[in-house]
Amino acid sequence: MCDMSDGRSAERIGRPRSERARVAVLQAVDDMLVEQGYAALTMKGIAERAGVGRQTVYRWWNNKAEILMEASLHDAEDELIAPPRGSSAAELVSFLELVERFLTVSPAGLAYRSLLGEAQNDPEVARLVGERDPLGESAAVVLDRLRDSLPGVPDGRTAAAELVGPVLYRVLVQPGAPATGLIARHVEHLLGIWSGPES
Amino acid sequence: MCDMSDGRSAERIGRPRSERARVAVLQAVDDMLVEQGYAALTMKGIAERAGVGRQTVYRWWNNKAEILMEASLHDAEDELIAPPRGSSAAELVSFLELVERFLTVSPAGLAYRSLLGEAQNDPEVARLVGERDPLGESAAVVLDRLRDSLPGVPDGRTAAAELVGPVLYRVLVQPGAPATGLIARHVEHLLGIWSGPES
Amino acid sequence: MCDMSDGRSAERIGRPRSERARVAVLQAVDDMLVEQGYAALTMKGIAERAGVGRQTVYRWWNNKAEILMEASLHDAEDELIAPPRGSSAAELVSFLELVERFLTVSPAGLAYRSLLGEAQNDPEVARLVGERDPLGESAAVVLDRLRDSLPGVPDGRTAAAELVGPVLYRVLVQPGAPATGLIARHVEHLLGIWSGPES
Amino acid sequence: MCDMSDGRSAERIGRPRSERARVAVLQAVDDMLVEQGYAALTMKGIAERAGVGRQTVYRWWNNKAEILMEASLHDAEDELIAPPRGSSAAELVSFLELVERFLTVSPAGLAYRSLLGEAQNDPEVARLVGERDPLGESAAVVLDRLRDSLPGVPDGRTAAAELVGPVLYRVLVQPGAPATGLIARHVEHLLGIWSGPES
DNA sequence: CTCTAACCGAGACGGTACGTCACGTCTTGAG
DNA sequence: CTCAAGACGTGACGTACCGTCTCGGTTAGAG
């Protein structure tokens, strides 16, 4: 997020940044998200929970949004890997169920939703989300894997939007309602489109 | 939103509430949303812009979210009425283009997005959005109108989610990118599903 | 200190400022000065001790220095009134003993010393102290009263400086050391100067 | 100030401390005091200006006060040596004028005033100032020299307080106002006291 | 035509989070 | 063991916004 970024940068002088502090912050954010929710996520609170100075947090990330993005990105990659199944249908259903679970119970998913929320109000956050969208990226991975057996899957972000859009919409608008029925029917429809000879 | 709601409640004594103040607040919110964005939307700022006391705002609505909801609901009904077209395809495309324009330029749409964002962090707002979702309601209206010519359209919120979900997702994640291509392909797919004998 | 100053100013609109909050702050400052000393005097601490919002403190006074000045000025007038004595010598000795006690034990006096200290670093505070110096003003009052029996007392701030300067210097440099001997000898000297026909 | 103090302690091992760093710090403090004033005197700022590590500063001195004390003490001895004059009066006037100039323009004098200010809030600094007071020591030197021709000069710190107290008071309270008139009259009075047969 | 009650504007109130700054300590690699 | 550099934990700073309260003044229906 912040500068210094990708290791290297040759020899830095002075005391090196504490990786320990960095992961403590990310862990604290994860914990607090599930325990108290985003509304109770204070910079001061994060720092205290992580046993870290406030300034240190600002040294690594410029915004609360950047912390959330990092917390979300890192775990999303792991949590949104759909296990291989026998059929495309089962694989898509599994993935969307992962997505739903991710968005409703996983710290990373809660972070993603808060991030998406903040992006609607803060253009800086919007830019961040626009560039690195863990949900869309995971969907792209799954679709790439299925492209052989589903010749109709379009390229780029369109297919990803068509896949996860309805589930995301349901979770954003009705976080409490289960999306299982929606997922089943939605996958059925998508298969009807993508597997056929058309398009 | 607040009590007193729908006129009624017979005869109240004392000075009646100023309808003038109420619409001034809604107008101020609309203006400030397009001029400065949600981040600069302060209760104090709204009151001052509307030439209204702060307490008066809280008399009509309990939260900033309730104001946004009212500002969004009222205009959304007008702005999301798809004009009748010759074909179902054209009608759906028109509707989704309306949706995209609503979400990106209309004050009511910006309010809706901010509201949806806030709902991810504040359960009270989430309840509000879950009960009255202008986007889903408009989609339901359109789908009802087309149900005769599209026998495959499922009932309830599933179809609405499938219709608007991808477009909303695109706008939420990439507000700047045009969704025209996505809309065209998406409608084409939906028609393939809904018009056929299957499902 | 702050604007609003001298009452009147005709009809103000809005909720009037809470005199209760104002005196609570001044009382809190007095208490904390004797209990913990100036170093522990935090704006946040003052506000909490006074049961008052932080912004309220800033509404009444712009600086910590302005609070101290007000706390000092108000009490200094009362605490530095030398009781009438039979002789000029006794009256001056009484006054200087009051000054010493004021500077070492009274909250107002501790505030004055901290203020004087801050004035050496902050030009804004220096201006404040230069305009309203409770110590000098009290000395001037005493000297005015004695001018009849001491024809040699010069006008203006010179006499006041000559009277209180040595005692203040002693207290500033050696707060712990008693100044009684210094006071006795100093008054004796001053009388030798001021009572004579010279000057 | 810090340990190691007076050279000695025989043979230390490891890299010897850099005297160059020490004087660079003192020079930086002097410069910054006249350029920006005490308020802008930061430990980090001093170190950077001196081209020195922060830890190095703390190795030589424990507090900012100790640096100021050293900066003040060293130069005060030179700057407060009253040149020999024909008369006691002229010598005292010269000395007090030096004092005034010292306190208002000299870096060492500004440091002394800031130190005196800090001493009112911090007992540790108060102890420091109480033990080594450059102003009082210089006054004692002058008075010792004049004791032969002024038989009435009392011993100890009383005379010093009586001599410099009024001038210091004037400078502390009204740094901008010239003290020339005060000095002339004050010396005249002191001579009336000290030269006479009385006391 | 008053009385009364709820409204209106304005703005101060007690809280709390923000991002910055300075402190004094700790941790690098180099000398 | 010291040096320059700079990150570390701590905590105060002044600002902004929240939602409530308290003013004087306004506007209706009830007596």
Average of per-residue pLDDT across D7-22 = 68
Residue with token string 């005490």? D38
CATH number of C67-194: 1.10.357.10
CA distances from D184 to A97, A119, C1, D94, D191 (A): 93, 72, 36, 10, 11
Chain D residue with the nearest C-alpha to that of C110? D120
Q: If you measure CA to C1', which residue is closest to nucleotide E24?
A: D58
D54 beta carbon to strand F: under 7 Å: yes
Q: Do residues C30 and C71 make contact, with C-beta atoms less than 8 angstroms apart? A: yes
CA of B43 to C1' of E13 (A): 17
Contacting subunits of C (3+ beta carbon pairs below 8 A): D
Interface test with A, best of B102, B113, B169, B170 (most A CBs within 10 A): B169
On the question of pLDDT at C20 being above 80, the answer is: yes
Q: What six digits make up the tokens of A1?
A: 């997020």
Identity of the residue in B39, B121, B170 whose CB atom sits nearest the CB atom of A117: B121
On the question of pLDDT at D3 being above 50, the answer is: no
Average of per-residue pLDDT across C166-170 = 96
Residues of D in contact with C99 (CB under 8 A): none
Per the CB < 8 Å rule, is A192 touching B196?
yes
Among C46-50, D9-13, D135-139, D176-180, the range scoring the smallest mean pLDDT is: D9-13
Cα gap C17→B61, rounded to integer Å: 28
Beta strands in B58-138 (DSSP E): none
Residues above pLDDT 90, as percent of chain C? 62
Q: What are the domain boundaries of chain B?
A: 19-60, 67-194
CA distances from A179 to A167, A176, B157, C111, D86 (A): 7, 9, 11, 67, 104
Cβ count near A51 (within 10 Å): 11
B42 beta carbon to strand E: under 7 Å: no
On the question of pLDDT at D131 being above 80, the answer is: yes
Q: Considering only CA atoms, which of A25, A19, A127, A141 is closest in space to residue A83?
A: A141
Average of per-residue pLDDT across C171-188 = 90
What 3 state SS string does chain A have? CCCCCCCCCCCCCCCCCCHHHHHHHHHHHHHHHHHHCHHHCCHHHHHHHHCCCHHHHHHHCCCHHHHHHHHHHHHHHHHCCCCCCCCHHHHHHHHHHHHHHHHHCCHHHHHHHHHHHHHCCCHHHHHHHHHCCHHHHHHHHHHHHHCCCCCCCCCHHHHHHHHHHHHHHHHHHCCCCCCHHHHHHHHHHHHHHHHCCCC
Pick left, alpha or beta for residue B16 (phi over 0 → left; psi -120 to 50 → alpha; otherwise beta).
beta
Average of per-residue pLDDT across B120-139 = 92
pLDDT: is A77 or D9 the higher one?
A: A77
Cβ count near C109 (within 10 Å): 25
pLDDT of residue D95: 95
pLDDT: is C121 or B14 the higher one?
A: C121
- Window 137-196 of B: residues touching A by CB (8 A cutoff) are 154, 157-158, 161-162, 164-170, 172-177, 181-182, 185-186, 188-189, 192-193, 196
Q: Do residues A140 and A153 make contact, with C-beta atoms less than 8 angstroms apart? A: no
Cα gap A16→D149, rounded to integer Å: 68
Nucleic acid strand F: bases within 7 A of protein CB: 1-30
Q: If you measure CA to C1', which residue is closest to nucleotide E20?
A: A55
Nucleic acid strand E: bases within 7 A of protein CB: 4-31
pLDDT of residue B8: 41
**Whose C1' is closest to the CA of A42: which nucleotide?**
E17
On the question of pLDDT at D60 being above 50, the answer is: yes
Pick left, alpha or beta for residue A37 (phi over 0 → left; psi -120 to 50 → alpha; otherwise beta).
left
Among A37-46, B131-140, C185-194, D53-62, the range scoring the smallest mean pLDDT is: C185-194
B19-60 is classed CATH 1.10.10.60:
yes
pLDDT of residue B11: 61
Residue with token string 């004579």? C196
CB neighbour class for B127 (10 Å; exposed up to 12, middle 13-18, buried from 19): middle
Cβ count near A140 (within 10 Å): 17
On the question of pLDDT at D5 being above 70, the answer is: no
Q: Do residues B112 and B134 make contact, with C-beta atoms less than 8 angstroms apart? A: yes
Cα gap B50→B21, rounded to integer Å: 7
Average of per-residue pLDDT across B65-74 = 93
Residue with token string 């309306």? B98
Per the CB < 8 Å rule, is D166 touching C161?
yes
CA of B44 to C1' of E2 (A): 37
Residues of A in contact with B123 (CB under 8 A): 37
Average pLDDT of the residues of chain B: 88
Chain A residue with the nearest C-alpha to that of B174? A130
Per the CB < 8 Å rule, is C193 touching D196?
no
Strand F interface, B 60-119, C-beta < 7 A: 63-64
Cα gap A180→D52, rounded to integer Å: 65
pLDDT digits (tens, 9 = 90+) for B48-64: 999 999 999 999 999 99
Cα gap D182→D170, rounded to integer Å: 9
CA of A17 to C1' of F7 (A): 6
pLDDT of residue D77: 86
Sign of the dihedral through C-alpha D89, D92, D96, D97: positive
pLDDT: is D16 or A6 the higher one?
A: D16
On the question of pLDDT at A199 being above 80, the answer is: no
CATH number of A67-195: 1.10.357.10
Per the CB < 8 Å rule, is C157 touching D165?
no
CA of B175 to C1' of E10 (A): 39
CA distances from C13 to C8, C9, C10 (A): 13, 11, 10
pLDDT digits (tens, 9 = 90+) for A95-133: 999 999 999 999 999 999 999 999 998 888 999 999 999
Cα gap D94→D11, rounded to integer Å: 46
Q: What six digits make up the tokens of D41?
A: 């005197």
Q: What six digits make up the tokens of B85?
A: 């077209």
pLDDT digits (tens, 9 = 90+) for D146-162: 888 887 787 778 889 99
Length of chain A equals: 199
On the question of pLDDT at A7 being above 50, the answer is: no
pLDDT digits (tens, 9 = 90+) for C47-73: 999 999 999 999 999 999 999 999 999
* Secondary structure class of C141 (helix, strand, coil): helix
Place C5 in a pLDDT band, splitting at 50, 70 and 90: very low
Cβ count near A14 (within 10 Å): 6
On the question of pLDDT at A77 being above 70, the answer is: yes
* Secondary structure class of D101 (helix, strand, coil): helix
- From the CA of D73, how many Å to the nearest CA of chain C? 15
pLDDT digits (tens, 9 = 90+) for B169-190: 999 999 988 889 899 988 988 8
Place D6 in a pLDDT band, splitting at 50, 70 and 90: very low
Cα gap D3→C183, rounded to integer Å: 38
The percent of chain B in helix, strand and coil, each rounded to the nearest 5, is: 70, 0, 30
